[in-house]
Structures are given as C-alpha cells and as structure tokens.
Amino acid sequence: MDVKGLNYACTTCHVTKAHKISGRYYSRPAPGRHQLALPADDGERLACESCHSRSPHKKSAILNHHTDKVACQSCHIPRYARGGVYTKMWWDWSSAGKFTKDGKAIVKKDKNGKLAYHSKKGDMRWDANVVPEYFWYNGSMSYLHEGDRIPPHEGPLQLNSLQGNYNDPGARVFPFKVMRGKQPYDPVERMLVVPYLFGKKGTGAYWADYDWKKAAAVGMREAGLPFSGKVSFVETEMFWPITHMVAPKEDSLGCAECHRRNNGRLEHLTGFYLPGRDRWQLLDTLGWVLSGLTVLIILLHAGMRLVSSARRKDADTQGEVDHEK
Ligand code: HEC
Ligand code: HEC
Ligand code: HEC
Ligand code: HEC
C-alpha cells in the first residue's frame, strides 16, 4: 500500500459490490471452494491468490510447492507491528482497582512510553516486531458468544477456536497474533460477565465505584443474563489472523526459520513430518544404514584406486626408466 510502492487503496483489494466488502474473514473463508477467487469475481472472497495465483514464484518450484500447506502470509509477514508501532499483547483486568495511599489513580508507563498499568484497566504489555504464532487454519473459526457457558478447558479459555488440521485439504499453516489476558467471569454460572464500566458514582459503574460484583450485577441485568453474585478471573486468549503488512520480498522467511531442529517457528505444530525439524526413527535408521554403506563403498573404491594407482606408478616408473635408457 506504500505510496512509494503500488500505492493501493483498501478497495483495490477489498472490492465492493452493493455494500458487500470482499474478504470478510470471520463469516466465510476467503479461499473458498474455487481457491482462485478473483477480485470482483465474487463479492465475498479475497485472497493473495486472487492476484498472484497459487504459483507466484518464478524462480523457485519448491516455494510454489509449499502453497498447498503453507499460507502466503506465513512466509511474507515475518513479523507484525513493524515500522515503529506497538501492539497490545496482554491485558490483565484482575489487577485493576489499585490506588495510592491517598486514593489517587496509579498510571505507569513502560520504557517505550506505552501504558503498563492504570487503576481503571489493570496491567498491560505491548510489543513491536512480533514473531507471529502459527496454526493450521481452514478459514473458519468458532466463537464463544455473550451468554455462552464456558466449556471445560485446559490452559487459557479460548474466546475463538480455529478449525483445520494437517489432514484437512483446505487448511494451511497461517500466522496469528494471539491476544492474551485475564477477564472477569461468574464461576457459578460459568459465564464471562458483561461488566458495567462507564457511569456515575453509586450506579455500580466499575470506573466510578471499583467493585466488580456491583459492575457485573448491573451489566448482566442489562444484558438479560443470569448472575450468581460471584466474580473470579479467567485467563483468556483470542486468535487474530494476520494478513496485512506484507514485507518486501527480500524479508520473506528463510527455509531454516521452519526447517530446523530447535526453536523453529513451527516447533509446536505436530501431527506431520517436517524435514529438518523431525526425526522419523525408521527414516533415520535407513539414512544411517545408507550413509554407512556409502562410506563403505567410498572406502572400498578409494582402496581400489590406491591399489591401481600404485600399479600405474610402478608401470610409469618402469616407462621413464625405459625412456631414459
Ligand atoms: C494487497 C491487498 C490488500 C489491501 C491493499 C488491503 N487489504 Fe485488508 N485484507 C486483505 C486480505 C487478503 C485479507 C484476508 C481476507 C480473507 O482471507 O478473508 C484482508 C483482511 C482484512 C480485514 C479482515 C479482518 C482481519 O484482520 O482479518 C479487514 C477488516 C481489512 N482487511 C481491512 C483493510 C483496510 C481498512 C485496508 C486499507 C487500509 C486494507 N484492508 C487493505 C488484503 C488487502
Ligand atoms: C489486488 C491484487 C493483489 C493482491 C490481492 C495481493 N497482491 Fe501482492 N502484489 C501485487 C502486485 C501487482 C505486485 C507487484 C508485481 C509483482 O511483484 O508481482 C505485488 C507484489 C507482491 C510481492 C513482492 C514485493 C516485492 O518486494 O517486490 C509480494 C511478496 C506480494 N505481493 C505478496 C502478497 C501477499 C502475501 C498477498 C496477500 C496478503 C498479496 N500480495 C495480495 C498485487 C496484489
Ligand atoms: C515457504 C515460504 C513461502 C510461501 C508459502 C510463499 N512464498 Fe512467496 N516468496 C518466498 C520467498 C523466500 C521469496 C523471495 C524469493 C526471491 O526472490 O529471492 C518469495 C517471493 C515472492 C514474490 C516475488 C516474486 C518472485 O518470484 O520472487 C511474490 C509476488 C510472492 N512471493 C508471492 C507469494 C504468494 C502470493 C504466496 C501464496 C500463494 C507465496 N508467495 C507463498 C517465500 C514464500
Ligand atoms: C513457514 C514455514 C516454512 C518455510 C519458511 C519453508 N518451509 Fe518447507 N515445509 C513447510 C511445511 C509445513 C512442510 C510440510 C508440507 C507437507 O507435508 O505437505 C514443508 C515441506 C518441505 C519439504 C518436503 C517436500 C515437500 O515439498 O512437501 C521440503 C523439501 C521443503 N519444505 C523445503 C523448503 C525449502 C528449501 C525452503 C526455503 C526455500 C522452505 N522449505 C521453507 C514449512 C516451511
């Protein structure tokens, strides 16, 4: 989009037809059944492939070979929040409501001048040049809605969960920002609460009375949802697909960023064989047997050459002697 580059407007890619904007991630997967949607061809779909096709690399067949399993964005957006901006990564509401001894609001900034704590909002963390997290994704996700019971979960509660895995032909490795934090919920009804935040003192508004129970009671009543009177905090995470901020081609991901034994970007993606990262016992054993055989053959070959060259030397010396004679 850079004015020094192609200078695209949003709508060059997001073509519209009667208020329908293409590339609506959350309602419909972009590379739908056609895979090669063209802008303006279908009001709902947009993908990098719309302009570039699935074989955009002229020089490298191996890169084109990846596009069925690895999304363009995974290699072409090596980091997000680039160019001097910060993005919020963590927001802990449970630590809100602390004040100085004389009742003043506490405001702390981090070394980059970004808000690190505020009495109204709790603790937060910001980051720049962030390495995305990668997951299998087929373009569909399911959401936890207002009023849904919190399902049993291990680890943080997922506010949205991604669909797709290695065996799903529509799924590819896709980069995400994962927004993490802690949010208030009702441990008895097992429901995230809708707190009443903004209002006058005495109305129960959290930003005036600083009482989560009162704020939740008002909020849940307004939302028409049950509330037990108890508030706890649960750690949550939300997955945001990354598709803008494509870097210049020189900055695309190098092979070893994914294909290496340790600390590769796809380290935690399991269920498939990734050359360079994984060890497959049979393949490894076979490899060693083959290497062993190769060494043996080389040795044998070298041995034979030594013998034959020694013979030739003998013959040569013989020849020279003859010649001198
Ligand atoms: C080079 C093409 C291109 C340009 C220019 C572009 N986008 Fe996008 N955008 C995409 C693609 C591709 C997607 C992913 C769509 C999908 O898979 O459904 C996307 C997704 C989105 C989404 C969906 C939400 C999300 O983050 O996933 C929004 C909103 C959006 N773009 C807004 C904008 C705005 C606003 C602009 C201009 C400032 C813009 N886009 C410019 C290609 C582009
Ligand atoms: C509206 C059409 C359009 C869409 C959609 C689009 N591109 Fe492009 N892109 C272009 C054109 C045109 C060029 C310049 C010619 C070229 O290099 O192929 C370009 C250039 C590029 C380059 C080379 C940049 C450089 O440094 O020379 C990369 C990489 C790239 N696009 C990746 C993507 C990715 C990834 C997406 C999806 C997020 C995307 N494009 C979506 C039209 C598009
Ligand atoms: C496995 C990583 C990977 C994937 C997946 C990938 N690319 Fe690339 N791409 C690269 C690398 C690396 C380069 C730089 C090659 C060079 O020019 O040296 C590149 C270069 C490009 C270029 C510049 C033209 C060229 O031939 O050098 C465009 C345009 C492009 N990619 C678009 C895309 C699109 C669109 C997709 C998805 C259909 C995609 N790429 C998928 C790694 C990838
Ligand atoms: C974003 C991570 C990523 C990057 C970067 C990447 N690869 Fe891969 N590569 C994968 C994944 C995932 C697979 C597994 C695909 C499958 O099983 O179908 C794979 C598979 C392969 C394979 C196995 C054969 C095949 O094509 O299925 C080879 C060889 C390979 N990559 C070489 C490369 C080379 C060379 C580069 C650099 C030019 C590269 N890869 C860059 C993720 C990556």
The larger pLDDT score, comparing residue 21 to residue 107, is at 107
- Residue 238 amino acid letter: M
77 CA distance to ligand 4 centroid (A)? 16
* Ligand 4 atom with the shortest distance to the CA of 134: 1
In contact, 202 and 261? CB cutoff 8 Å:
no
Evaluate if residue 286 carries a pLDDT over 90. no
Query: Cβ(76) to ligand 4 under 6 A?
Result: no
How far, rounded to the nearest angstrom, does the alpha carbon of residue 87 sit from its chain's CA centroid?
A: 15
pLDDT tens track for 88-105? 999 999 999 999 999 999
Query: Cβ(75) to ligand 3 under 6 A?
Result: yes
Structure tokens at 150: 């919190």
307 CA distance to ligand 3 centroid (A)? 52
Q: Tell me what pLDDT residue 287 has.
A: 67
> Whose alpha carbon is nearest atom 29 of ligand 1?
24
All residues at 6 or more sequence positions from 19 whose CB lies less than 8 Å from its CB, including other chains: none
Q: Tell me what pLDDT residue 313 has.
A: 60
Pocket of ligand 1, beta carbon within 6 A? 1, 8, 10, 12-14, 23, 25, 30, 46-48, 241, 243-244
Structure tokens at 116: 């690190």
Alpha-carbon distance values, 269 to 95, 134, 176 (Å): 33, 8, 13
* Ligand 3 atom with the shortest distance to the CA of 53: 38
15 CA distance to ligand 1 centroid (A)? 10
Evaluate if residue 28 carries a pLDDT over 70. no
> Whose alpha carbon is nearest atom 38 of ligand 4?
255
pLDDT tens track for 73-87? 999 999 999 989 999
Q: Which ligand is nearest to the CA of 49?
A: 3
In contact, 208 and 200? CB cutoff 8 Å:
yes
In contact, 79 and 129? CB cutoff 8 Å:
yes
- Residue 57 amino acid letter: H
The C-alpha angle 140, 146, 150, rounded to 5 degrees, equals 80
Calpha distance 128→299 (Å, rounded): 54
As a whole number, mean pLDDT of residues 225-244 equals: 97
Evaluate if residue 40 carries a pLDDT over 70. no
Q: Tell me what pLDDT residue 153 has.
A: 94
In contact, 273 and 279? CB cutoff 8 Å:
no
* pLDDT-derived band at 124, boundaries 50, 70, 90: very high
Structure tokens at 226: 């049950």
Alpha-carbon distance values, 19 to 41, 43, 48, 51 (Å): 15, 9, 22, 22
244 CA distance to ligand 1 centroid (A)? 6
Average confidence score pLDDT of the chain: 86
Computed from CA positions of residues 282, 286, 288, 289, in that sequence, does the dihedral angle turn out positive or negative? positive
Ligand 2 test: best mutation among 7, 48, 49, most atoms within 8 Å of CB?
48
Evaluate if residue 314 carries a pLDDT over 90. no
Q: Which of 124, 139, 133 is nearest to 177 (CA)?
A: 133
* Ligand 3 atom with the shortest distance to the CA of 74: 5
Query: Cβ(259) to ligand 3 under 6 A?
Result: no
Q: Tell me what pLDDT residue 13 has.
A: 83
As a whole number, mean pLDDT of residues 173-200 equals: 97
Count of C-beta atoms within a 10 Å radius of residue 158: 18
Q: Tell me what pLDDT residue 169 has.
A: 86
Calpha distance 40→57 (Å, rounded): 24
> Whose alpha carbon is nearest atom 22 of ligand 4?
275
Q: What is the CA radius of gyration of the chain?
A: 30
Query: Cβ(216) to ligand 4 under 6 A?
Result: no
Q: Which of 98, 8, 102 is nearest to 46 (CA)?
A: 8
Q: Tell me what pLDDT residue 170 has.
A: 82
Q: Tell me what pLDDT residue 280 has.
A: 65
Q: Tell me what pLDDT residue 307 has.
A: 72
Query: Cβ(3) to ligand 4 under 6 A?
Result: no
- Residue 97 amino acid letter: G
pLDDT tens track for 266-279? 999 988 899 888 87
